Structure 1
Amino acid sequence: MNEYTRQLYDYHTWANAKMFERLKELPADLYRREFETGFSSLSKVLAHMYAADQFWFDIMSGGDIMSALAMGETFQEQAEAASMAELETMFVALSQQYRAFFERQGDLTQSILLEHAHIGRMETPLYELVQHVVNHGTYHRGNIMTMLQQLGHTFTSTDYIYYLHAKATNG
């Protein structure tokens, strides 16, 4: 389970890197351009993704939800204020923190107790929270793809099968 969980997180990191590669190829003004549906800009989607990844990292690292929620607002604000290049650097640094945590933790089947404002109290293993982080990122990369398509731009595929192919071919 630990190795599979690490691979899922590596996929998440790979997909985010592919997303940033594509976004850097597009006109710079798209990053903060306002949209009428869903998130109001690409920068806000990316900031939300970053803040959520940071929130769950704090929880998995032993933080409590109330503190993580309070910090989440700060992370969201910092991410929204960052340039795309700065935010990409923030994502890379956070992925390094996740990997270091996985190494320190060792056993990702260990359960933690959550008291979530919307879903209540539950006990869940760490690997399920990592799966949630990965799913959340996949969902919002889909939002970004839709936003770009509305403007007539293509997006790079970040489906898991492409990650597996890239991994198998060292690409």
Structure 2
Amino acid sequence: MRERQRLEADVSAFECHGTGIDRWRHGVSGSGWRSKLPSDTRLEGTRMTVAEVRELFAYNAWANRRFFAALEPLPAEPYFRDLKSSHGGLHGTLCHIVWAEQLWLNRWLAQPNPAVPQGRDLTTLAAARARWEAIETEREAFLAGLTERRLDETMAVKPSTGGEYLHTFREMFRHAVDHSSYHRGQLVTLLRQVGATPPGTGLIAFCRERRSPAT
């Protein structure tokens, strides 16, 4: 009975979102972080840890670098060609990945959104890579200071499509990696469309490479 009452209380707290959500918030810091969302503690042992977050972003960096390397020898014409994809072609899709990773990192660091949307200020592959490497360096420093407690803290996110949503850092980290993986999948198809061979960037390949003995 007590367990049922506790869960019902959690549900009631969620229903307050947007109309009195402060009843369960324990305050908002200057950075916009809030207390963790109500949750069923029976799931605590199955949740992603800080070590796993760092591993996912290490995988993300490994995969991005493999694509930068694969795109480097490509001539300008196919690289900039409009292939009628969601972001035009190879360059537009790559810049979208870079921009989105910067956008999410800026949110976590309580910094303004990137000044130019969708990475439209990135006019070359070299510029896109330089921007991304700077993002990765800053993100690594952020993740180095990450704590288990922070994973359940929340942040209000206002997407460009409108609205406002409250997400835990755990959710945002998963989304950021998933988003880049999704668009790298598009890059695979686009590379094949221009007759190039895409790199293998599966998570299992990353795990196997990390375990391989140094040569």
Query: Is structure 2 residue 146 aligned with structure 1 residue 146?
Result: no
In the comparison of the two structures, how many residue pairs are matched?
164
Q: Give CA deviations for 1:86-115 in whole Å, capped at 9, x if unaligned.
A: 211211111111110112333441422224
1:60 corresponds in structure 2 to 108
| CA separation of 1:72 and 1:11: change in aligned 2, threshold 3 A | farther
SS of the equivalent of 2:82 reads coil
State the identity as a percent.
24
Q: Is the 8 A contact 1:22 1:155 kept in 2?
A: yes
SS of the equivalent of 2:86 reads coil
* Greater Rg over alpha carbons, structure: 2
Query: Is structure 2 residue 157 aligned with structure 1 residue 109?
Result: no
| CA separation of 1:74 and 1:115: change in aligned 2, threshold 3 A | closer
Matching residue's letter, 2:78 = L
- Give the distance between the partners of 1:110 and 1:103, measured in 2 at CA: 17
SS of the equivalent of 2:104 reads helix
Runs ≥4 residues deviating over 6 A: none
Q: CA RMSD in A?
A: 2.1
- Give the distance between the partners of 2:176 and 2:212, measured in 1 at CA: 26
Structure 2 residues not aligned, in runs of 5+: 1-48
1:165 corresponds in structure 2 to 208
Q: TM-score, normalised by structure 2?
A: 0.69
Query: Is structure 2 residue 10 aligned with structure 1 residue 10?
Result: no
Q: TM-score, normalised by structure 1?
A: 0.85
Q: Is the 8 A contact 1:43 1:84 kept in 2?
A: yes
Q: Is the 8 A contact 1:56 1:133 kept in 2?
A: yes
Matching residue's letter, 2:121 = Q
1:22 corresponds in structure 2 to 70
Structure 1 residues not aligned, in runs of 5+: none
2:128 corresponds in structure 1 to 87
Q: Give CA deviations for 1:35-89 in whole Å, capped at 9, x if unaligned.
A: 13332121111111111101100111124xxx42xx353562222x2x2122112
